Structure 1
Amino acid sequence: MSTGGAGACAIGGDAVQLAQQLVDAADQGRLIGSTPDHIKEIRWIAQGQNVPDCDVDVRILQVLVLALQLFDQVGVSDINRKCTGQIEGAGTASSHYFNGGGLAVDFYRLNGQSLTGADGNSIRLISALDPVMPNGARVGQIECRAEAGTTIETTHFTQFDDTCTHLHIDVGFTNGQLTTN
């Protein structure tokens, strides 16, 4: 397992370079997707392609790179729903969809373990990301943590209710940048 917290290794802000790192991880089986496949969105960015309605915010790419610094394998179930035509959950008001989509990521597995937003790996990722996230970034599953008898104080993340089948991270309501150096 990787050591150190998020930001232990400084990461840049160039979308193509970040996407190339993520594609390398996907090719090694460290970054996995589900159905529909959102990893293709990252592959297009890595290739320098600008596919309409399939962009991924650079801050979400950074979150993914940081997650891969913490975990040997990262599973992603949603990024840009506008790209895949998914209308679910918060629908077109979701950070996965509005403003072109790609402003959120749903993690469904870390190191082979399913996530609830209240499990140890979810707590570890939230704890590692919170110090580097911009104010107004959001993390889901607060009610899942409450139901499990777990709470976590966050400084930069705003916590909200979401289903207990994943861990949602989004930057759709902030213009701030991650502090990754």
Structure 2
Amino acid sequence: MTTAIVKTRTKSAMSPLTLVYSGMFAALMMIGANITAFAPFLVVGGVPITLQTFFAILAGLILGSRRGALAMTVYMFIGLAGAPVFARFGGGFGSILSPTFGFIVSFIFVAFIAGKIVEKNGKLHGYIIAALVGMSVNYLVGTNWMYYAYKFWAAAPDAFTYKVAWLWMMPPLPKDIILSVLAGIFGHRMYKVLKVRR
């Protein structure tokens, strides 16, 4: 009996619809990583307004924790396989050594945690909180990865410190907060429209 339930859940988790949704969000991440290549006006004050965090949050809000994390994992492995889907059309296994690869890894956790929060609180404020928590996870994982990458294997400037690493993240912070709140509102509405079964 228990074995049958586990098999049913596994089959549901990897249904054709799940694969379609995962592929869709992986494609959106590819576009979001290089949106400024198609819309140069999205570079404000030298800071590119990418939509990766926005789509990673949406993946968790709309698909739920497991499917959202799966979509982000698919995106990461497509890039590691060599497809130019990361920022600045980067890709390949060597991307792991990039100081910014931690942000790509963080998207998996962003989608999972945001999805977990809205699975417990499906109200609008729950979606906004989930989006902001997801953005915080993105910054926490990505910035720490960047700091240790520069310290241990990348060429860091002599004056580079942990504080400097966080100061580098301040310029894009306002736009990420705004986009996260919009992701929460949009995700709440889209979940009702799509009625994705988690």
Q: What TM-score results when the alignment is normalised by the length of structure 1? A: 0.29
Could you say which structure has the larger radius of gyration? 2
Q: What TM-score results when the alignment is normalised by the length of structure 2? A: 0.28
Between Structure 1 and Structure 2, which shows a larger proportion of helix residues?
Answer: 2
